Structure 1
Amino acid sequence: MGERLQRIKDKITRELGPIIRKALEDPEITEIMLNSDGNIWTEHFSKGMEQVGAITPQAGQALLATIASSLGKEITEDQPSIEGELMLDGTPRIAGSIPPKTVGPQLTIRKHASKVFTLDDYVDASSLTPLARKYLKDAVEKRLNIMVCGGTGSGKTTFANALINEISVLCPSDRLYILEDTREIQCSSRNFEHFKTSEAESMDALVISSLRHRPDRIIVGEVRDGAALSLLESWNTGHEGGISTIHARKTSLKGAFLRLEYLLQKALPGTENGQLIGEALDLIVTIEKQGQRRLITSITEVTCYNPEKAGYQTKAIEMTAADLIKKDNEGDS
């Protein structure tokens, strides 16, 4: 690192202050938020959201100016927002704004997980039943294609990391290809490659190019666009055992299907894609934030697509503990 960049990094570290620095060092904290009123909040894996301190508007403004400089940008009244990766270990993602867009300096720091929470951790946190844990471990070993569905802040990526950890434990020699827009997936496997999109190479291009490198499993951090078509086709043609996440406003089985169909329509407008979804996708796991916990609310096998009924044949996995897990009824969705 050059002398100038080192000076900027040191300045960022100082201006973050002791509260934010401590939160960045805590492996169980996933997000840090500076609100425009100066209050600092953190999102903790097991404790949820809590206020941990405050800083002055002047300190917040100085911090955002230094972060902007590290990104080769300026943050001004005419350009009041910045996004990028923080020049610190782990390169956490940041988004920040200043007045007049906000009433005061505002910053959100999303950390890349430094600790992988295992399926056992989810059971210990009462977010997953032991029976569901056993089923998911079997699903990983049987190379089922799994889609994790949830809303913003539901913990989709963190749970995907737990499933990827199971691959590393149960199938340590499998060659994993991990594709992301921003680096959030954590992998302890001995045999993996990690690729990130760029202006020159889209997610769709990454999925297609990955097929030339002999992957056993293809993992996409979050499928957001027409790359859903290439991903499902790869899962359906000899690359079973993949994992991806999908954002759905309504965290439900129906919401997951609707979102996937919408993304496939972006790739192939006017086509019927139910058959591909029914063949390529084996399992949908829904996750929600409820109170201070993130709960696995359903696990559903996708059996096939029924064109006569224009619906999916599914089978809900029995997980017991009805107060913890909301179960979908077996049937057409």
Structure 2
Amino acid sequence: MPDRGEAHAGGGAGESDFIELDGVEKVFDVRRKAGRLRRERHQVRAVDGISFRIPRGEMVGYIGPNGAGKSTTIKMLTGILTPSGGRLRVAGIDPSRDRTRLARRIGVVFGQRTTLWWDLPLRDSYRLVHRMYRIPEARFRENLERCVELLDLGALLEVPVRQLSLGQRMRGDIAAALLHDPEVLYLDEPTIGLDVISKAKVRDFLRDLNAERGTTVLLTTHDLTDIEQLCKRVMVIDHGRLMYDGPLAGLHEVGESERTLVVDLERELPPITADGARVVRVEGPRQWLAFPAARSAAPLVARIAAEYPLMDLSVREPDIETVIARMYAERSTGG
């Protein structure tokens, strides 16, 4: 695959401002009933003055609750939607004004929708992508072989898309988005509904893609484990506004969020005592311990394993809605 340094020379975007948003807004006009025969027009501000920059080659998590404005932002970044205000550039291109030129430089995966052809075998879908983007034959074959190998798609190439499981289709969609060597990849809930094995394959592939090819990745997800394993930087959006931009550990500190360690013991015992953790629930031999999300679970796990008859344990991440609720509570109290 081509080196990023030699691809798309003269694109007009520097390394530090590959993706630029300055005061970007998106307002929708919505008509609502105001009586039996009358409707009133209301404005819904889906994105409200967002500004940020993403350098080339960075992998960033873009998170928030449902309706926060995440998908609207991505649709503006791809040119599907036109901003109501502000300035937006991707690789020096205004997406809404030059969507066709930008399409050759970006890849998009929407977790809830497929870009594959429903009744065609996976291989035929890829051939259509090959023709649409006019990908040179040698480059297409090389990229396809790499995606098939790393995403474990070999046994699925002759299977119609409608017969694929959600996890298989998601891996197929990611491969389709990468066949033309995009410089930036937008992922909207790429692991939604996937089993543990499929999630691990997708995460490993994205990590390798970013490290080896320098692909810029903007990832929206409700799964904080996706962010924790893939992104050093996270941005939180809620009610169309950017609330936080920084490392994940800093987000946990701001929101004072907690992770939960679920411990299964060999037998029922009194509540576990461990520094920095507190038991929040006990049911027979199973106990739930809360501890600060910004801290590593390793010391706590090691201590419990050494001092208690342990059968099994798991770590549960705080959900994004809880983190954001804590951030709001902190702001409202003036902290």
TM-score by length of 2: 0.33
Whose RCO is larger (CA < 8 A, sep 6+)?
Answer: 2
Q: If you compute each CA radius of gyration, which structure gives the higher value, 1 or 2?
A: 2
TM-score by length of 1: 0.33
